[in-house]
Chain A
C-alpha cells in the first residue's frame, strides 16, 4: 500500500522555467491538497480539491496551477519559477470528518529555484 506518492523528491530549476510536481494516492480519498513548508512558517495551503474536476485556491496560490482529472492524481504546476518558490512541497489526501479526519502526506519534493 503506497499511500501518497510524490515525484520527484528533489528538483533544481532556473528562474522562469516551468515544471509539474506529481502526486498520486491509492486510497480512493476524495480530498487532496498541496502545501508548501518554509522554515518558521509551518505549512501553508496552496490549492486543494474536493473531488475529480473540482479545485480551489488556498492561502498562497499565486504562481501555481492545479487540475484533478482523476481521483488518484493531483499535479501541481509551477508556471514560471521564481526564487520565492524555493520550498519543500507536500501533497496530502484525506478522508472523513470529526476527530476521525486524517490527512495523509507524501514524503515531499524539495525544490530549489536559482
Chain B
C-alpha cells in the first residue's frame, strides 16, 4: 500500500524550463510535506518543506504548492539549470511537533536539465 504516489518517474527539460513534480497522499493525518534532492552517490538533502496551514512556499527557485482538499502537493523549479539534474523525492509524515525522523517517501523523480 503506497501512502504517497509521486509522478512522473522521470522528466527532461531544457535549461530555463519549469519542471513540475507531483505527489498525492491518502492519509489526512499527514501534516508535514518535505522535498529532498539527491545527487548520484550522495544521500538525500532537504530542499524545502511545507505544513498544511499554507498553500505555497518559496525558497529561491524552488516552490511547493499544496492543495489540502485534493491531498496533493507539487514541487516547481523556476529557471531550471543543469546543476538541478538530480533525483527528487517527496515525503510525508504525521509529525505533530516533530516526525522523529520517520518519513514516508515517494518513489522518486529523475530530473535531467539539458543545457
The residues of A with any CB-CB pair to B shorter than 8 Å are 4, 31-33, 35, 40-45, 48, 50, 58-59, 90, 92-94, 96-99, 101-103, 105-108
Contacts and interface: CB of A to CB of B under 8 A. Distances in A.
B102 A33 contact: yes
Give chain B's interface residue range (CB within 8 Å of chain A).
Answer: 20 to 34
Interface in B13-47: 32, 34, 36, 41-46
Interface of B: 6, 9, 32, 34, 36, 41-46, 49-51, 57, 89, 95-108
A95 B44 CA distance: 16
B42 to A, nearest CB: 6
Main secondary structure of the interface of B (DSSP, over half): loop
B37 to A, nearest CB: 11
Contacts of A107: 41-43
Main secondary structure of the interface of A (DSSP, over half): strand
Contacts of B43: 4, 90, 92, 105-108
A43 B44 contact: yes
A48 B63 CA distance: 30
Contact of B101 (A33, A44, A98, A106): A33
